Amino acid sequence: MSRKTSRKEEYARKLVSPEEAVKIVKSGDWIDYGFGHTKPIALDAALAARKDELKEINIHSALSLSPHACAEADPEGRVFTIQSWHFGGLDRKLHDRGRCFYHPMVFRNQGLYYRKSITNLVDVAMLRVTSMDSRGFFNFHCGVAAERAVVDVAKHVIVEVDDQLPWAMGGREEVIHLTVVDYIVEQSSPPEIVPSAVASETDRKIARHIVPHIANGACLQLGIGGLPNSVGTLLAESDIEDLGCHTEMLVDAYYELYKAGKLTNKRKKIDRGRSVYAFAMGSKALYDWIDHNPSLAAFPVSYTNDPYVMARNAHLVSINACVEVDLYGQISSESSGIRQISGTGGQLDYATGAYLSKGGISFICCGSTHKDKQGNTKSTIVPTLSPGSIVTVPRSQAHKIVTEYGIADLAGRSTWQRAEALIEIAHPDLREDLVKAAEDQRIWRRSNKVA
């Protein structure tokens, strides 16, 4: 009997309905849905249908891109509780209803958490994967992240095979073999589209401050939102050449740079000629670009987000957004007071790695103001962080902070130098209040002049 026939037979033997597959779940189990696009659809619905038979089911997830059937079927949370590594809009709404809890993490450590600290918290992994190849491998497509670590510690593994998902070339840890799978179910649906955020005029002003600092051959890490799109657009229209990509998240801005002939990866010191990433979110065009593309390489976050790995690329430029910065240089990017709104993600990883890179720069950006719930204009640069706000990047790791009014370089500066630099990029109408606060906090006086 040929190996090919044997694999087909093993596949057929493990192929069951979603309803049959989820019978393996018992009360008290921890389920893992993986990251982003690996969250299953048919299995989630089948598990939700068992709500009257089960008790105390916890579900690990991250950056959910479709509603959780389990949460919707159990609105009071008597059976299913979602535990998320990173909040998107859907997770945030569940959290506000008391249905979802956040797992604090530094993204580069996610795989290590599974392999070292929570090895007993994956009873059943349920992950959406690509169709199987001729050698018996399934692929983690847009959600490589830490999925291999999940599989390695799971007591049982169920894959939901989706023939519409793109195959992500590796890298490493981007595949799972048929032999380690307990059950297979099939469900065909396109990968979730994540529309690019529309850039605001503030985003465009911030981007115009950043782009002059990006040199030919620079290696880019772009976060999510309108700002990275603005940076990508300006770079695509510029004379800058031979940009590289080493990032946690592959977004449409990179595809636009590729189409403009700017993204070549020719000058990277490692993984030359390839754009490196851990997960992807964006348009159908982005997913089509990923599919079997050898110029892209999907790696686990233990590699993409290791500061010492990324720093091997010279002129690494990291661009991310934040919620609030205080006059000490503490950066909050994931909560609004005690309300968790996103997660640490890889911001601290890249703030560290970009600064370690020869010629590298870490930019963390925000508009100078925002509106509160009452519609009042408030400064995003504040005397001290709002009570309960989480410090995502400590002041000791902060580098360049950018608003539409300019760039404040905090690295190596004293508390009074930091305060003055930040006040200078705050909204002009709100600077005097910040000056008074800095004086009260004894970190600034009017006679100080930054050299």
> Active-site positions?
248
Q: Which residues of 325-354 are buried (b: 16+ CB within 10 A; e: fewer)?
A: bbbbbbbbbbbbeeebbbbbbbbbbbbbbb
Per the CB < 8 A criterion, the answer to whether 182 and 156 are in contact is: yes
Q: Which residues contact 95 (CB under 8 A, 6 or more apart)?
A: 84, 87, 101, 102, 339, 340
Measured distance CA(30)–CA(371) in Å, rounded: 40
Q: How far apart are the first and last CA of the chain?
A: 78
Give, in order, the Cα–Cα distances in Å from 111 to each of 13, 119, 306, 327: 30, 10, 12, 34
Tokens of 148: 């291999």
- Give CA angle at 110 (46, 22), nearest 5°: 15
Measured distance CA(343)–CA(244) in Å, rounded: 26
Give, in order, the Cα–Cα distances in Å from 407 to each of 85, 209, 210, 216, 241: 31, 7, 8, 21, 24
Q: What is the DSSP string of 177-240?
A: EGGG-SEEEE---PPPP-PPPPPPHHHHHHHHHHGGGPPTT-EEEE-SSHHHHHHHHHHHTSS-
Closest alpha carbon to 126 in 169, 75, 69, 167:
69
Q: Torsion angle of alpha carbons 238, 243, 331, 386, nearest 10°?
A: 50
Measured distance CA(329)–CA(145) in Å, rounded: 30
Q: Match 């990508």 to its residue by tokens.
A: 232
Per the CB < 8 A criterion, the answer to whether 196 and 283 are in contact is: yes
